[in-house]
Structure 1
Amino acid sequence: MKILQALFFPPEQPGGVSSMVPYIKERFNHVDDEMELFSLPKRIRNKGSEQVSFKTFDYTPYIGNKLVDKYIQTYRDYLWWTKMRINQSYDLIHAHHPIAAMVMKQVFPNTKLVLTLHSSYERELILNKAIEPDGVEQQFLTKIYRELEVVADRILTVSHAFKNYLADYVEHVDRIKVIHNGFDEKRFRPTAHENEVTQFITVCRLVPAKGLDVLLRACARLKAKGHPFMLHIIGDGPIRKELEALAQSLGLYDDIIFYGYMLHPEQFMPFFDVFVLPSRAEAFGSVFAEAALCQLALVGTDVGGIAEQIQHRVNGLLVPVEDDEALAEALESVVIDPDFRYQLALAASNKAKKDYSLERVIAQLKKVYREELASNNP
C-alpha cells in the first residue's frame, strides 16, 4: 500500500495528532507498506483563490463572518498547496483534519479517503469563549460534519464519547469506527524517584477549556488544609497572564511554576508524581495516556475521552467538571497516601501499554485500509 497521511499542522507542532502520526509512519515504512506525510506550512497564507463549494449545504449565507471567511480561505490555501506540491498518486489517503479531507477528495476524487476526527473545533471555541453557543460559527462548523460524511469513504474517531457527540450532525453514526490514539512506548521512560513533596504536573494549552482556573482553586483548598505540594504547568496560551494573576491572588505564588511551551514534555514528566487536568471537554485527551505511560497517577474530569481512559479509583481519579472542591479532595487523597498513588500509577501504566500501544493502532488502521481498498473490487 502507498498511503498519504494528510495532516493540518506540520508534524513538529505540539499535540496528540502531530506527535502520533510520524511514529506510525516510521513503523509502516519498516514493513511492506509505504507512507508519506503532508501538511500545510504556517507560512502559507492567502495564496489560494479557487472557488469553494460543498455538496451538502450552501455556505454563502455565512460569508462575512470572520471565522467562516478564515476557514474558507484556509481551505483555498490547502488546496493551492496540495495541487502545487503533490504530483503523484496514492492507493489511499488518511486525513486528520476536515479541511485536509475535503481538499484531498477534491484533488483525488477516485482515491479512497479515510478521515479521523480528533476533536470538535466548535466545542473548543465555545468553551474558550471565542464564539457564542448556537451562533453562526457553530452552525457553519457543525454542517461540515455532514459534508465529511458524504466526502469520506470511512470516518474514524478517537473515543466513543466523541462518536456520540457526532450523532447529532451525521446521518449514519453507526458507520463511524472508534480507534483510540496510540503511542510509541519507546518515548516514555518511567523513572524511579522519591519526591519529598508531592509533585503535580499538567500539560496543556492555556485556554479556558482546560479548566486550569478550577485546578488553581483546588490547589488553594489543598494548601489551606496544610498539605504541601508543587504544581508544574507546562504549556502556553492566551490566558497565561490571567492564570498567573489568579495564582498570586490565591496565595499560590511559591507553589506553582509556569514553564511555558515545551516540545517534548514526556521527557520531563517521569520525574513527577501526579498528572492532573480538569478539562471542561476532551475528545480523547492524549496527554493522559502519555502521563500514564510515564507511570504517573492520573486525576481528571469525568468527561469525554478522559472518562474512557480512567476507571475511578482503579487507574486514576475522576471528578465532576467545574468542581474545585471535589478536585481538591482527589488531590488530597493522592498526597496523603503514597501507596494509593503508586497503585493508581501502576494500573494506569499497565492499561496504557495494553490499550494505547502503537502496534495496536497500526494493526487496526491496516485492517481499515485493506477493507477500503478491497471495496474497490467487490
Structure 2
Amino acid sequence: MKLLQALFFPPEQPGGVSSMIPYLQDRFNPPHWEMELFSLPKRIRSKGSDSVQFQTFDWHEFEESPIVQKYVQTYRDYLWWTKLRIKQPYDLIHAHHPIAGLAMKEVFPDIPVVQSIHSSYERELILNGRIQENGLEHRFLTSIYKELEHRTDKLFTVSHSFASYLAPYVGHPEAIGVIPNGFDEKRFKPVPHENEVAQLVTVCRLVPAKGLDILLKACEELKKRGLNYVLHIIGDGPSRLELEELAQQLGIYDETIFYGYTLHPEEFMPFFDIFVLPSRAEAFGSVFAEAALCCLALVGTDVGGISEQIENGTTGLLVPPEDSVALADALEKVIIDPDYRYQLARTGSDKAKTHYSLNRVVHELKQLYLQFK
C-alpha cells in the first residue's frame, strides 16, 4: 500500500505532529507498505493563482479579512506545489493540516484522503489576541471543519476533548475518530540525577496561549514563600521580550533562564525535575507526553488534551487555568517533596509508554488505512 503523509510544515519543524510523523516511516516497511512525506516549503509564497471555491460555504463573505486572504493564498500555494511535485499515484493520503487535506482532495479526487486535525488555529489566534471570537476570521476558520467533513473520507483528531470542541462545527460529530499522538521511546532517555535545587522546565512557543505569564507569577509566589528553584524556558516567539520584562518586574529574572529556540530539547530535558506548562488551551499537548517519557513530574492546566494525559495526583498535577496561586501550590508540593515528585514522574512515564507509544499509533493507523484498501 502506497501512502502519502501530507504535512503543512516541513518535517523538521519542532513540536506537535512533526514530533510523530517522520518516525512513522521506519514502521511502515516495504513490501507491504510504502510511505512518503510531503509538505510546503517556506520559500513557496504567492505562487498559486487558482480560483478557490468551497462546497459547503462561500468564503468570499470573509475575504475582507487579511488573515482569511492569507489563508486562501496559502491554500492556492499548496495546490500549486502539489500539482507541480506529485506525479505518481498513491493508494491513500493522510493529511495533517486542513489546507493539506483540501488541496489533496482537490488534486486527487479519486484517492481516499483521511484527515487528522491536530489543533485549532482559530482558538490560538483568539487566545493570542489576533482575532475576535465570532468575528470574520473565527467564522471562516470554523467553517473549514464542515468542508473537511464533506470532502475528505475520514475525519479524526488527537483527543476526546478536541473531538467535543469540533462537534458544533460538523454535521456528524459521532463519526469523528480519536487517535492520540504517539512517540518513539528511543528518543527519550531518562537520566538518574539529583539536583540540589529543583529545576523547572517548560518547552513551548512563546505566545499568550501558553500561559507563561501565569507561570512567572506563580514563580514569584514561590520565591515569596522562600522556595528555591530555577525555571528554564525553552522556546521562542513573539512574547519573549514581554515575558523577559515581566520576569524582571516580578523579581525572578535571576531564577529564570530563557534559552530561545532549541531543535532537540528532549536531549537535555531528562536532567530537569519538573515539567510545567499552564496552557490556556491544548488540543493534545505533545510536550507533556514527551516530558513524561523523560521521567519528569508533570504540572499542567485542566484543559483539553492535558486533562486526558494527567490524572491529578497520580500521573501529575492539574490546576485551573489563569490561577497563579493554585499553580504555585502545585509546584510547591513537588518542589518540597522529592519522593512524591519521583512517584508522579514514574506513574506518568508508565502511562505515556502505555497510551502514547509509537507502536500503538502504528497499529491503529494500519487498521484505519486498510479500511480503504
Kindly report which structure 2 residues correspond to 1:228-267, keeping only aligned pairs within 5 A, or say none: 228-267=228-267
Q: How far apart are 1:103 and its partner, in Å?
A: 0.4
Kindly report which structure 2 residues correspond to 1:269-308, keeping only aligned pairs within 5 A, or say none: 269-308=269-308
Q: State how far apart, in whole Å, the 2-side matches of 1:31 and 1:322 are.
A: 51
The answer as to whether partners of 1:190 and 1:295 remain within 8 angstroms in 2 is yes
Q: What amino acid is aligned across from residue 180 of structure 1 in structure 2? A: P
1:298-357 residue CA offsets vs partner (Å, 9 max, x unmatched): 000000000000000001000000000000000000011000000000000000000000
Q: How far apart are 1:156 and its partner, in Å?
A: 1.2
Equivalent residue for 1:103? 103
1:110-161 residue CA offsets vs partner (Å, 9 max, x unmatched): 0011000000000000000010111000010000000000011001100000
Q: How far apart are 1:30 and its partner, in Å?
A: 6.0
Q: How far apart are 1:32 and its partner, in Å?
A: 2.3
Q: State how far apart, in whole Å, the 1-side matches of 2:120 and 2:65 are.
A: 19
SS at match of 1:368: helix
Compute the TM-score of the two structures, normalised by the length of structure 2.
0.99
Q: How far apart are 1:39 and its partner, in Å?
A: 0.2
Q: What amino acid is aligned across from residue 198 of structure 1 in structure 2? A: A
Q: What amino acid is aligned across from residue 347 of structure 1 in structure 2? A: T
SS at match of 1:168: helix
Q: What amino acid is aligned across from residue 289 of structure 2 in structure 1? A: A
Q: What amino acid is aligned across from residue 81 of structure 1 in structure 2? A: W
Q: How far apart are 1:31 and its partner, in Å?
A: 6.3
* Moved segments of 4+, more than 4 Å: none
1:175-213 residue CA offsets vs partner (Å, 9 max, x unmatched): 111000000000000000000000000000000000000
SS at match of 2:74: helix
Q: Is the deviation greater in 207-216 or in 64-73?
A: 64-73
SS at match of 2:202: strand
Equivalent residue for 1:16? 16
The answer as to whether partners of 1:16 and 1:286 remain within 8 angstroms in 2 is yes
Equivalent residue for 2:178? 178
Q: State how far apart, in whole Å, the 1-side matches of 2:167 and 2:86 are.
A: 34
Compute the TM-score of the two structures, normalised by the length of structure 1.
0.98
Q: What amino acid is aligned across from residue 307 of structure 2 in structure 1? A: A
The answer as to whether partners of 1:153 and 1:372 remain within 8 angstroms in 2 is no
Q: State how far apart, in whole Å, the 2-side matches of 1:372 and 1:302 are.
A: 37
Aligned CA RMSD, in angstroms, stands at 0.7
Kindly report which structure 2 residues correspond to 1:1-378, keeping only aligned pairs within 5 A, or say none: 1-29=1-29, 32-373=32-373
Q: How far apart are 1:220 and its partner, in Å?
A: 0.4
Q: How far apart are 1:16 and its partner, in Å?
A: 1.6
Query: Any gaps of 5 or more consecutive residues in structure 2?
Result: none
**Identity among equivalent pairs (%):** 68
Q: What amino acid is aligned across from residue 12 of structure 1 in structure 2? A: E
Equivalent residue for 1:376? none
1:209-237 residue CA offsets vs partner (Å, 9 max, x unmatched): 00000000000000100000000000000
* Aligned pairs, number: 373
Q: State how far apart, in whole Å, the 2-side matches of 1:134 and 1:107 are.
A: 31
Q: What amino acid is aligned across from residue 243 of structure 1 in structure 2? A: L
Q: State how far apart, in whole Å, the 2-side matches of 1:110 and 1:30 are.
A: 24
SS at match of 1:199: strand
